[in-house]
Structure 1
Amino acid sequence: MRKKMVMGWLLLLLGGIVTLFWHNEWVYALPTPVPAHYKPVHTGDAVRLPQLPVFVQDKPVLLHFFNPDCPCSRFNIPYFTSLVHKYNSQAAFAIVLMTPKHYTEKEIQDKFHINIPVITDASLAATCGVYSTPQAVIIDAEQHLYYRGNYNKSRYCQNTETNYAEIALNALLLHTPSTVLYDSNALRAYGCQLPNCTKK
């Protein structure tokens, strides 16, 4: 009898874990709702960047909008880090921290194991038209928006054919006009809704 009860509890626990896992997968596979008062920023619009030394050079900039509490942001860390290592001689990079919690720059840099600027000015999200994390924003050397969107169709950035942010960065480095065609998954925001890492 006791053995059956233990087995029953274990099956119930396992069922709960599986249900929770699939619920999270389903929720984060849906597009992030567009905020009611959202003001879009269009490709080609001027974007005023913070006055940081890393931006005072003739290089494009990739801003990584990151929330440490967002599961999608955490899954994205290895891929973003790989982009920094691959393109740091051709582009500037910065992490835009999107959380009301306090973190030091070093704490965030340690999560990525890279030494790049960490921006804590959350108003930069509205400046760039960002309302979820993680999101990539690529700004050309003249400080115009070139790309704003997802890193990949896959939550874990494993599909090399849909590395949207990298495709956009390569196109910019090759001086390709920003009218590069992406599929609908590139520009429709997915992930955690700002400002509090919710998914409604």
Structure 2
Amino acid sequence: MKKWLALSVLALVFTFISILFWYSEWRYSLPTPVPASYHIVNTGAHVDLPGAAFSFPSDKPLFLHFFNPDCPCSKFNVPHFKSLVNAYANKINFAVVVMTNDKNYTTAMIQKKYGLSIPVLMDTALAAACGVYSTPQAVVLDNQHRLYYRGNYNKSRYCTDAKSNYAQMAIDSLLAFQAHPVFNRQALTAYGCSLPTCKINNK
């Protein structure tokens, strides 16, 4: 009797975990709602970078990683983002833009926690300047600060699908001096945690 009871409990736990996993995957498939006040920034538009935080060499493109340390979606793609930094740091300027209302986070804290040696910016106005309304999002600007790409890193939340490395494809295209790449809806439709409170929405 005890054996069957234990098996029944294990079966219930397994079923519950499976339902949670399925629900998480289902939420991930839904795009982040576009805010009513959202103002789109079109590809090719010049992006005015607010603040005096940008002292990057002007001869390189700029990659902005919009990141919320409290957003599960942001955490999933940290390894992939760091791999991009390691691969392209000599050709592109990288910076993390922290999107959170939690004032306890500091630049040094983010750099230490995630093992980053690149600039970490706390200027949330950059999201509006780049047309970003969710995290994580990748923004690639050319060396004239014109928007080249704004979108997702990968169609997989863990960035494990090599065929949909959208952000990396954008980098490679820009470095090859190609025209703005054409991406599918999966690349350009925002998925993740909404701004500004960054509460989990669909990942």
TM-score interval for Structure 1 and Structure 2 normalised by the shorter chain:
over 0.9
The farther-off stretch of 137-146 and 110-119 is 110-119
- Alpha carbons of structure 1 residues 108 and 12: separation in structure 2 relative to 1, 3 Å: same
Contact 2:53 2:121 in 1 (8 A): no
Superposed displacement of residue 114, structure 1: 2.0
Find out whether 1:141 has 2:143 as its counterpart: yes
Q: State the distance in 1 between where 2:20 and 2:109 align.
A: 30
- Structure 2 stretches lacking a partner, 5+ long: none
Superposed displacement of residue 71, structure 1: 1.4
**Quick one: which amino acid aligns to residue 6 of structure 1?**
A
Superposed displacement of residue 3, structure 1: 3.4
- Find the counterpart in structure 2 of residue 88 from structure 1: 89
Q: Residue by residue, what CA displacement relative to the aligned partner does 1:145-197 show, whole Å, maximum 9, x if unpaired?
A: 1110001111111111211111111111111122x111111111111122222
Structure-2-length-normalised TM-score: 0.92
Superposed displacement of residue 54, structure 1: 4.1
SS in 1 for 2:112: helix
Contact 1:93 1:116 in 2 (8 A): yes
**Quick one: which amino acid aligns to residue 62 of structure 1?**
F
- Find the counterpart in structure 2 of residue 183 from structure 1: 184
Q: Residue by residue, what CA displacement relative to the aligned partner does 1:46-93 show, whole Å, maximum 9, x if unpaired?
A: 112243354242111000000112111111000000000110111100
Q: Percent identity at matched positions?
A: 51
- Find the counterpart in structure 1 of residue 7 from structure 2: 7
- Find the counterpart in structure 2 of residue 122 from structure 1: 124
Q: Residue by residue, what CA displacement relative to the aligned partner does 1:83-113 show, whole Å, maximum 9, x if unpaired?
A: 0011011110000101111212122112331
- Find the counterpart in structure 1 of residue 68 from structure 2: 67
- Structure 1 stretches lacking a partner, 5+ long: none
- Find the counterpart in structure 2 of residue 150 from structure 1: 152
- Alpha carbons of structure 1 residues 98 and 27: separation in structure 2 relative to 1, 3 Å: same
Superposed displacement of residue 119, structure 1: 0.9
Q: Residue by residue, what CA displacement relative to the aligned partner does 1:104-151 show, whole Å, maximum 9, x if unpaired?
A: 212211233121111111121111111111100011111111110001
Contact 1:81 1:112 in 2 (8 A): no
Q: RMSD over aligned Cα, in angstroms? A: 1.5
Structure-1-length-normalised TM-score: 0.93
Contact 2:68 2:99 in 1 (8 A): yes
SS in 1 for 2:69: coil
Structure 2 matches for 1:15-26, cutoff 5 A? 15-26=15-26
Q: State the distance in 1 between where 2:74 and 2:55 align.
A: 23
Residue-pair matches, total: 199
